Structure 1
């Protein structure tokens, strides 16, 4: 039976279409043993945490236990907050976060709905693999954000990628390798 992967795209105008290249890269790198679903999230121009979380929970419910959850940018912010809150209602095989903004009390990087609570690391299901990937040449989300996640989620595996931009140069080979290691 094929392993189920849910890819959650980023936010902003045209994000679904832009991130379709990432979903295609992941699909190609994983091969026929995996099914990668990438639904268009509602109102991508102005994402709403509760709405997106509910869509993610519904998609995962249809996939069943043991699905892999992958999020990019704003989508990754929603994914990690939902995982921390236990709001997805499914047992996951792993959470993979790409170019994830770290939201904190800052003029620009402030989105209170997805801001991680101080005890985020303790609230993640025991044994759930969490991976973060960030390109050193990310022109959208500063590279320093992955370092903030490294401090907030010390159990996470951090992949710092040289020569990669916000879209990770449309290449998710490293992500696919890590997903395949879960088997």
Structure 2
């Protein structure tokens, strides 16, 4: 049976050389036929709202098998963290992979609907492994957002990279390695 991966994309247009599309294509190719990478188109990505994205995430999670892997890129990562820390998740999740996610409520990233509850980390500290990725050449979300998350999620595996920009259009080798490594390990504690 193929390992399921749910990828929640970034905000903005999703097409060739834009948004998360190239990163998803890389991930599908690099993971190979043993993985089923799902990439739902989120509602109105140019004008996203948490409530509508939350509904899609909830629906997608219900359709997944137990122990799926969740990947969120940029806004998609922020949405996954908010969703998993606020909702009652009954289905086990094998791993959470967050790429270049903004930490809402910091600096100019004050968008209340995406802000995490002050104790969000308490809901994730005994969860499935959490992996954080961010490039120090990210031109959209400053790399200091990685530090905000890392400080509150001390159990997370943190990757501060020197390549990739914000979109990681040429791929993210560390993500592929971590997914394959995690999938090879068993048993593991799930969300």
Fold conserved between structures, TM > 0.5? yes
Indicate if the aligned counterparts of 1:29 and 1:172 stay in contact, CA closer than 8 A: no
Q: Is the 8 A contact 1:52 1:78 kept in 2?
A: yes
The aligned counterpart of 1:94 is 95
Task: Give the secondary-structure state (helix, strand or coil) at the position aligned to 1:160.
Answer: strand
Provide structure 2 residue ranges, at least 5 long, that are not aligned to the other structure: 184-191
Hey, what's the Cα distance between the residues in 2 that align with 1:165 and 1:25? Answer: 15
Q: What is the rounded CA distance, in whole Å, between the counterparts of 2:126 and 2:69 in structure 1?
A: 16
Runs of 5+ consecutive residues of structure 1 not aligned to the other structure: none
Measured after TM superposition, the shift of residue 15 of structure 1 is 3.5
Residue 113 of structure 1 aligns to a residue in which SS? helix
> Residue deviations 1:130-157, cap 9 Å, x none?
1110011000000111011111211111
What is the count of residue pairs matched by the alignment?
Answer: 181
Q: Where does residue 114 of structure 2 map in the other structure?
A: 114
Question: Which SS does the other structure have where 2:114 is aligned?
Answer: coil
CA distance in 2, matches of 1:150, 1:27: 27
Of 97-106 and 131-140, deviating more is 97-106
Note the C-alpha offset of 1:84: 1.1
Residue 187 of structure 2: aligned partner: none
Determine whether 1:6 maps to 2:34: no
Task: Report how far residue 110 of structure 1 moved.
Answer: 1.1
**Which 4+ residue blocks in structure 1 deviate beyond 3 angstroms?**
none
Q: Deviations over 1:77-96 (max 9, x none)?
A: 10111111135553211110
| Alpha-carbon distance, 1:25 to partner | 0.7
Deviation at 1:113, TM superposition (A): 2.2
In the alignment, the residues of structure 2 paired with residue 89 and residue 57 of structure 1 have an alpha-carbon distance, to the nearest angstrom, of 11
Structure 2 CA distance for aligned equivalents of residues 11 and 161 of structure 1: 22
1:126 lines up with 2:126 in the alignment: yes
**1:100 to partner: Cα distance:** 0.4
The DSSP-based 3-state class of the residue aligned with 1:134 is: strand
SS in 2 for 1:95: strand
Structure 1 range deviating more: 159-168 or 135-144: 159-168
Distance 2:100 2:170 in 1: 12
* Residues 38, 53 of structure 1: alpha-carbon distance in 2 compared, 3 angstrom cutoff: same
Deviation at 1:35, TM superposition (A): 0.5
TM-score (norm 1): 0.92
User: Hey, what's the Cα distance between the residues in 2 that align with 1:87 and 1:112?
Assistant: 21
1:9 and 1:54 map into 2 onto residues whose CA distance is 15
